[in-house]
């Protein structure tokens, strides 16, 4: 009930002012008992999974080099490619709650460059805190929330702090009002 009241208040303020106030940190970030599974001194993304269109397979070496330049651990299966005749990969992105705004923006830019667009956000509670997935088919339709290109531009704003980024992500996915608690 507290979440519902909080979101209703934030939505009404947003609609009247055009901007949202910060959401309580208890809804945005993992608790104090959480320990990241990797050294987060260079990047807050411990695991990244990427599915790309087959047309990018020729760029595999460059893509892995780019990811490694961002200090991401790149495993053999980190980047996978959609079947040649399988259509376009999903245009979604999942960003965990402990990923910094800077790393999240990097992931969004990567998705835009190599997957053409981002139309859906995956609900944060479904993913580990230091996790990013681009074009994942692991989640059903209820797990993915459509966003507009204007909303995506708001998420890409370099002025957003990590707290502001996750507050906006929380707002855009309407996490407080998810009806079917399947996680």
- What average pLDDT does this structure show over 29-39? 90
CA–CA dist 167, 24 (Å, integer) = 8
- In percent, how much of the chain has pLDDT > 90? 57
pLDDT average, residue stretch 20-25: 56
What local confidence, expressed as pLDDT, does residue 114 receive? Answer: 92
At residue 26, the pLDDT reads 67
| 121 CB-near residues (< 8 Å, 6+ apart) | 92, 93, 94, 95, 144, 145, 147, 169, 172, 173
Domain boundaries, the chain: 26-31+40-177
Q: What is the dihedral of CA 141, 143, 148, 149, to 10 degrees?
A: -110
Contact call for residues 40 and 34 (beta carbons, < 8 A): no
Residues 42-64: tens digit of each pLDDT: 999 999 999 998 888 899 899 99
* Mean of per-residue pLDDT scores for the chain: 84
Tokens of 32: 């104090």
Q: What are phi and psi of 127, to 5 degrees?
A: -120, 150
Query: pLDDT band at 175, cuts 50/70/90?
Result: confident
- Listing DSSP states for 118-130 in one string gives --EEE-GGGS-TT
The predicted model scores a pTM of: 0.82
User: What confidence tens digit (pLDDT) does each residue in 75-122 have?
Assistant: 777 888 887 777 889 999 999 999 999 999 999 999 999 999 999 999
CA distance 105 to 98: 13
Torsion region of 5: left, alpha or beta (phi above 0 gives left; psi -120 to 50 gives alpha)? alpha
Taking 80 as the threshold, does the pLDDT of residue 18 lie above it? no
């Amino acid at each position: 009930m507290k979440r519902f009241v909080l979101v209703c208040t934030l939505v009404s303020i947003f609609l009247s002012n055009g901007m949202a106030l910060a959401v309580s940190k208890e809804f945005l970030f993992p608790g104090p008992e959480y320990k990241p599974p990797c050294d987060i001194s260079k990047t807050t993304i411990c695991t990244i999974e990427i599915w790309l269109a087959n047309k990018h397979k020729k760029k595999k070496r460059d893509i892995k080099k780019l990811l490694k330049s961002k200090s991401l651990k790149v495993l053999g299966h980190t980047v996978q490619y959609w079947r040649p005749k399988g259509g376009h990969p999903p245009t979604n992105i999942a960003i965990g709650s402990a990923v910094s705004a800077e790393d999240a923006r990097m992931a969004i830019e990567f998705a835009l460059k190599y997957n053409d667009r981002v139309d859906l956000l995956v609900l944060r509670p479904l993913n580990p805190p230091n996790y990013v997935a681009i074009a994942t088919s692991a989640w059903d339709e209820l797990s993915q929330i459509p966003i507009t290109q204007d909303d995506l531009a708001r998420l890409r704003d370099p002025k957003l702090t990590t707290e502001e980024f996750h507050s906006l992500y929380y707002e855009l996915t309407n996490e407080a009002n998810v009806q079917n608690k399947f996680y």
